[in-house]
Amino acid sequence: MKNGDGSTAPHGNDRSSFIPHPSSLAVHLLIWKLDGRVLALPLAAVERVVRAVAVTPLPDAPDTLLGVIDVQGQVLPVFDLRKHFDAGAEPRAVQLNDRFIIARAGEKTIVLRADDVIGLEHRAQNEIEATTEVFSSAAFVTGVLQREGELVLVCDPKRLLAGNTESLGVLPDD
C-alpha cells in the first residue's frame, strides 16, 4: 500500500509486514544445570524457582521420583532427572544449594530438582533443533540448541510426566 508520499510503509490496518516469520518467533527459556548437563524449560511452563526443601519419600516410587513436598498447602511430586540421563547414577541427597523448579505439566504441577539455575534466555524458534530431527526416542527432550559452545536439551514437563504416569499413581487429577 502506497502512502501519500509514495512510500510503501504499512498504513492503516495493513500490518502484514509486522508479522514475524514463525521461525523467528522468540522462545523464552529457563536454563538450568543437572549433573553438569545444561537443560532448558519453556518459561511458559515455569511457575517459579525456589530453594530446595526436605522431600518426603514415597514407598515403592520410581527412581526418578524423589518424593513429595508441600508448597503452600499443595502436595507436589519432586522429580530428579538424573536417572533419565544415566541409568547407573547414584541417588544424591538434596543439597541446601539445590533449587526446585515448580512447573506445569499440562494440568498438573510438578517439581524438578536442579543443581543450579543459570537464568533466562530468549531464542529464535529456528535456533532450536527438534529432537525428532536428531533422534526419534527423545522422550521428554523436545529440542536441542547451542549455547556458549555446549548443547542445551530443551525439556517438556508434560512429556516427562507422561513417561512416569503409570508408575506414579500419586498424582491427583486437577
Q: Which residue has the higher pLDDT, 22 or 172?
A: 22
Identify the weakest region by mean pLDDT among 58-72, 98-112, 148-162: 148-162
Distance of alpha carbon 115 from alpha carbon 159, whole angstroms: 21
Q: Could you tell me what percent of the chain has a pLDDT over 70?
A: 74
pLDDT band for 162, please (50, 70, 90 cuts): confident
Q: Looking at domain 26-168, which of 2.40.50.180, 2.102.10.10, 1.10.10.10, 1.10.357.10 is its CATH number?
A: 2.40.50.180
Q: Which residue has the higher pLDDT, 19 or 125?
A: 125
- Determine the pLDDT at residue 171: 45
pLDDT, mean of residues 106-117: 93
- Determine the pLDDT at residue 126: 87
- Determine the pLDDT at residue 125: 87
pLDDT band for 16, please (50, 70, 90 cuts): very low
Q: State yes or no: pLDDT of 65 exceeds 50.
A: yes
* Average per-residue pLDDT for the chain: 80
- Determine the pLDDT at residue 22: 55
pLDDT, mean of residues 80-104: 84
Strand order in the sheet with 129-130: 116-124, 26-34, 37-42, 150-155, 141-147, 129-130
List Cβ neighbours of 137 (8 Å cut-off, separation of 6 or more).
none
